[in-house]
Amino acid sequence: MKIGFIGLGIMGRPMALNLKNGGHELIVPERGSLTAEIRAAAEVVADAQAVAAKAEVVILMVPDTPDVAGVLFGANGVAEGLKPGTLVIDMSSISPIETKDFAAKIAALGCDYVDAPVSGGEVGAKAASLTIMVGATDAGFARAKPLFDLMGKNITHVGGIGAGQTCKVANQIIVALNIQAVSEALVFASKAGADPAKVRQALMGGFASSRILEVHAERMLNGTFAPGFRIRLHQKDLALALGAAKDLGVSLPNTATAQQMFSSLAAHGGGELDHSAMIQALEGLANHKIRPDG
């Protein structure tokens, strides 16, 4: 299939290459940031409109709701180049409410729309092991599923349009709170005089074990916070959660606390760090570093 892919960042780039390796043709819009690998793997065209004009499927993987709106409906955007029958798949993490509006506009052009946000970070994108949460009609999901199989392992049709985005917001609540829990546990253990690396090792065999403890605690112990998923993007996701919770009359107290931890780091210039760097906010509150070198 001819697949247009817009949004070739930390996760989008390996996702697109996995589709190419699966036998599909890639079409991407010109950007100064395109890597040599992408230029060799894809046909590069002028803009999003040109991508849509050539593609059977258009996939978006961009940072936020306004970015999706701009790519779809801005000048020289996807909507201006769509042919009836084209499948549009948004794999970004954005507002469930806006997603339904975008889908209605795309449907009016005679095209299918699927929202399919992902979880798994850069590691999952490279390994084609992403969790993919899908909001779609049955027909839309059936069309998209073979492509999802090339990018992910745990693929769930959650419900209708917007359900994928709702599921992703729930995912981001759990991930943030788990990062906060692991951060607090390691700071507590270290301040009490225990070796936090050995505490992590012990906990990996018990009920507290988790992917966050496995992957992100190692980042915390090593002090390696190059972004797999940036703090500023997790802030965006938690803002979606808290905004929706207000509209629904739901209290999310721990989500609000996690957002404040991220906000503290962002205020100190840490918005581009990996979200596992939340531990730095907890270390600051405790006036204690878990790593011997600080």
**Annotation says 168 is catalytic:** yes
pLDDT for residue 127 is more than 60: yes
pLDDT mean across residues, the chain: 96
Chain segment 2-29, per-residue pLDDT in tens: 999 999 999 999 999 999 999 999 999 9
224-283 tens-digit pLDDT: 999 989 999 999 999 999 999 999 999 999 999 999 999 999 999 999 999 999 999 999
Catalytic residue chosen out of the listed positions 168, 236, 246, 289: 168
Residue 228 has what pLDDT?
A: 85
- pLDDT tens for 174-228 read 999 999 999 999 999 999 999 999 999 999 999 999 999 999 999 999 999 999 8
Sequence-separated (6 or more) residues with CB below 8 Å from residue 241: 169, 170, 172, 173, 252, 255
